[in-house]
Amino acid sequence: MKILVCVKQVCDSADTISINDSAGWITYGRNTVFRMNRYDEYAVEEALRIRERLGDTIIDVLSIGPERVGKTIRRALEMGADHGIHVLFEEERYMDPAERASLIASVAGKRKYDLILMGIMAEDDMECQVGGLTAEMLGYECATGVIHQEISQGLAEVSLERELEGGRRQCLTMRLPAVLTVQSGINTPRYPALTHVLKARSAKLECIEAHELPVLPSPQRLVRMDLPEEGAKGEFLEGTQHEKARALLDILHEHSLL
């Protein structure tokens, strides 16, 4: 079985970034720390568990971005993935979900993966669209928000459960090949073993220039970026418990909440 896991590198904290109005995108500070998107960690772990259950499985990991993204790919190799694919995209600009999905589909389409896994969303843009768009471009089945999956022994189908609103679950059986976006809680990502860490350090990543891949025209363009408006500041009540309770009641009455 061949599995592709798509991972994204995100910054660890918004405190070290700023909006560059002239460039129309984000500027990262010198102290910005980057790491793997946490939802994608669950996707890597799920691929490893499939291999442990079925055996004879190859796990490739793909990420799109500048040179620094190589560290995130190696993190997946440290967890136990077999091969890393780096789609080198040096421009620091907004990449919409369709463009990202198009790059993934361009790489995956030639390699005939049985299963493509990725996190349900990225922590930075939270757009939740790359998985579905990738599946559509490849002509694969797709399920989002997966919290349980089981591949049939014949590698023809996958039985899964999706998380829905209100605590409900949807049970499906889909034919392979398929794209699954996994939800947090599907597993507990493992800590890398020392042998895998040492192997990942010397592993050679496959590097593909993004401009060499066929990409569909982007249907979106970023118009402007703004910081969220500052919310109302809280008010601290002082005095005895009775005085604070009375002050709280006055505030609630003033705003017609009681």
164-217 residue pLDDT tens: 988 899 999 999 999 999 999 999 999 999 999 999 999 999 999 999 998 888
Fold of the domain spanning 2-212? Rossmann fold (3.40.50)
Cα(231)–Cα(252) distance, rounded to whole angstroms? 19
Query: Is the backbone of residue 109 left (phi > 0), alpha (psi -120 to 50) or beta?
Result: alpha
- Residue 93: the pLDDT is 84
Domain map of the chain by residue range? 2-212
3-state secondary structure of 33: coil
**Cα separation, 125 vs 153, whole angstroms:** 37
Note the pTM of the prediction, 2 decimals: 0.85
* Token code pair at residue 65: 């971005």
DSSP state of 110: T
> Does residue 225 surpass a pLDDT of 90?
no
Structure confidence at residue 221 (pLDDT): 82
Higher pLDDT, 231 or 59: 59
228: pLDDT strictly greater than 90: no
Answer with the residue of higher pLDDT: 23 or 132. 132
Q: What is the pLDDT of residues 46-105, one digit of tens each?
A: 999 999 999 899 999 999 999 999 999 999 999 999 999 999 999 888 889 999 999 999
Mean pLDDT within 226-232: 78
Quick one: pLDDT at residue 116? 97
Tokens representing 168 are: 């409900």
